[in-house]
Amino acid sequence: MNILSQLQVWRVLKPIILMLIAVMGSAVAVVYSKHIARTKFVVLQSLEQERDSLNEEWGRLLLEQSTWASPSHVERQAIKRLHMIVPTADMTVVIK
């Protein structure tokens, strides 16, 4: 083969090689982006699970707060721990 025929072969093969490289690069990019998407999805699911558990705990804490703040509970604790009593009518003084 002479140099002219080798140049013609190279002229034909050059676009094919470039397209092959482009297709392979595109395939690698698709695989990489799919991997990143799956990784992000796993992180998203774990964060959603953590959010759900925190919401459950928040609900339990709200229920506990309402229980501890109920007037009957506060009165029982005042009597039991602080030895307080409900004043009677003769213990009440009206100031004018």
Structurally, the chain folds into a number of domains equal to 1
- Of 52 and 6, the structure prediction assigns the larger pLDDT to 52
pTM for this model (two decimals): 0.60
Buried b (16+ CB within 10 A) or exposed e, 72-86: eeeeeeeeeeeeeee
Give the model's confidence band at 30: pLDDT under 50 very low, under 70 low, under 90 confident, else very high: very high
Radius of gyration from C-alpha coordinates of the chain: 39
pLDDT at position 5: 82
The answer to whether residue 96 sits within a structural domain is no
Give the model's confidence band at 1: pLDDT under 50 very low, under 70 low, under 90 confident, else very high: low
- Token pair listed for 94: 């009206």
Structural contact between residues 21 and 28, judged by C-beta atoms closer than 8 angstroms: no
Pairwise CA distance, residues 61 & 74, whole Å: 17
Range of the domain at 61: 3-91
For residue 32, pLDDT beyond 70: yes
